[in-house]
């Protein structure tokens, strides 16, 4: 039989454990030095002799005190130091929660990202929060959003249902980018957000047999991805923000943990989902440090 003293010790220990967990998850892990998550793969129908290093940043969610312009500029320097051939930005630059001390404006975060440099350039897509935070775009149900304008003013092209052909060492490679799959908030209760993505229309713009890397903020499009696409890169999930033993309790995806995080191979098709850099809803990360992706292809 448990004694009163034993019960109080149990309660005290539980309280300290919860307090310690909360302090670490809110105050420490989100601000740890960014982890570089490295992948090396040769996707299907990848040209022999084409070696391509892609560095990806996802889900910055700029806000104070968590993701300041100074920290974003530092992330840009870290990305450059990885010596990428190409840098891709996977959406959600705008804060996704209310627990902030101050907003970071689009000119501020886009200006910090303007320091990104790579021989083949920097390309970007938008995320759901980049659309949801823009009241005018929501009412008009069309862009360009404030986020897109800020990125383009900073010299970073934005791909929304579009594709661009790059070349390295005599080999071509297509970078395709989807418009967001959750772009428009519902006008009625219990309706899901509506997407502006057009996968078929985007791939129709690819005019030769060069490999395709497709950028899609949400990974839920992956089951529809044709084998023609060598690699799909996504963000959005933040790896669940809390991840233990390869499992995330809450994942913003209709597929749950199937596409929550990491390298997924299905039917010889490849998807890599970034754990991201910032967070939405709550400023918590546990078992899922902020990360930059380094992907070596070929």
Q: What is the CATH classification number for the domain harbouring 81? A: 3.60.21.10
**d(C-alpha 266, C-alpha 260), whole Å:** 14
Helices and strands, number each (H, E), in the chain: 7, 13
Q: Are residues 212 and 119 in the same domain?
A: yes
Q: Are residues 169 and 240 in the same domain?
A: yes
What's the pLDDT score for residue 273?
98
Q: Are residues 14 and 104 in the same domain?
A: no
Q: Are residues 7 and 119 in the same domain?
A: no
Q: Are residues 278 and 153 in the same domain?
A: yes
What's the pLDDT score for residue 189?
87
Mean pLDDT of the 108-115 span: 98
pLDDT (tens digit per residue) in 236-284: 999 999 999 999 999 999 999 999 999 999 999 999 999 999 998 889 9
pTM of the model: 0.90
Q: Are residues 3 and 125 in the same domain?
A: no
Phi, psi of 71 (to 5 degrees): -70, -40
What's the pLDDT score for residue 6?
46
The angle subtended at Cα 154 by Cα 113 and Cα 179, nearest 5°, is 85
Examine the pLDDT at 53 and tell me if it is beyond 80: yes
Q: Are residues 129 and 232 in the same domain?
A: yes
What domain range is 24 assigned to? Answer: 1-31
Q: Are residues 149 and 138 in the same domain?
A: yes
Q: Are residues 209 and 287 in the same domain?
A: yes
What's the pLDDT score for residue 34?
79
Q: Are residues 16 and 164 in the same domain?
A: no
Examine the pLDDT at 196 and tell me if it is beyond 80: yes
Q: Are residues 26 and 39 in the same domain?
A: no
Three-state DSSP class for 200? Answer: helix
Mean pLDDT of the 161-179 span: 98
Mean pLDDT of the 123-148 span: 98
What's the pLDDT score for residue 32?
55
pLDDT (tens digit per residue) in 70-111: 999 999 999 999 999 999 999 999 998 888 889 999 999 999
Which comes out higher in pLDDT, residue 279 or 219?
219
Examine the pLDDT at 20 and tell me if it is beyond 90: no
Q: Are residues 154 and 118 in the same domain?
A: yes
Mean pLDDT of the chain: 91
Mean pLDDT of the 223-229 span: 97
**d(C-alpha 279, C-alpha 125), whole Å:** 18
Report the C-alpha dihedral over residues 25, 28, 30, 33, rounded to 10 degrees.
-140
Q: How confident is the model at residue 45 (pLDDT cuts 50, 70, 90)?
A: confident
């Amino acid at each position: 039989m448990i004694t009163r003293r034993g019960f109080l010790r149990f309660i005290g220990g539980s309280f300290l454990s919860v307090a310690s967990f909360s302090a670490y998850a809110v105050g420490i892990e989100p601000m740890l030095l960014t982890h570089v998550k490295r992948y090396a793969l040769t996707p299907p129908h990848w040209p022999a002799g084409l070696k391509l290093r892609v560095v990806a940043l996802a889900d910055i969610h700029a806000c104070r005190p968590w993701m300041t312009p100074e920290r974003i500029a530092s992330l840009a320097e870290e990305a450059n130091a990885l010596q990428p051939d190409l840098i891709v930005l996977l959406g959600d630059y705008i804060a996704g929660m209310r627990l902030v001390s101050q907003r970071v404006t689009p000119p501020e975060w886009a200006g910090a990202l303007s320091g990104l440099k790579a021989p083949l350039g920097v390309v970007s897509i938008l995320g759901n929060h980049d659309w949801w935070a823009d009241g005018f775009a929501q009412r008009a149900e069309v862009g360009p959003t404030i986020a897109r304008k800020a990125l383009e003013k900073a010299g970073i092209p934005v791909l929304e249902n579009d594709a661009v052909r790059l070349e390295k060492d005599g080999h071509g490679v297509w970078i395709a980018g989807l418009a967001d799959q959750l772009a428009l908030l519902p006008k009625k209760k219990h309706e899901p957000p509506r997407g502006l993505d057009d996968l078929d229309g985007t791939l129709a713009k690819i005019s030769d047999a060069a490999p395709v890397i497709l950028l899609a903020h949400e990974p839920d499009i992956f089951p529809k991805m044709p084998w023609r696409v060598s690699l799909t890169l996504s963000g959005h999930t933040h790896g669940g923000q809390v991840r233990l033993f390869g499992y995330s309790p809450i994942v913003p995806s209709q597929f749950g943990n199937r596409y929550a995080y990491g390298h997924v191979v299905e039917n010889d098709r490849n998807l890599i989902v970034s754990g991201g850099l910032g967070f939405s809803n709550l400023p918590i990360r546990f078992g899922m440090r902020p990360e930059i992706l380094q992907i070596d292809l070929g």
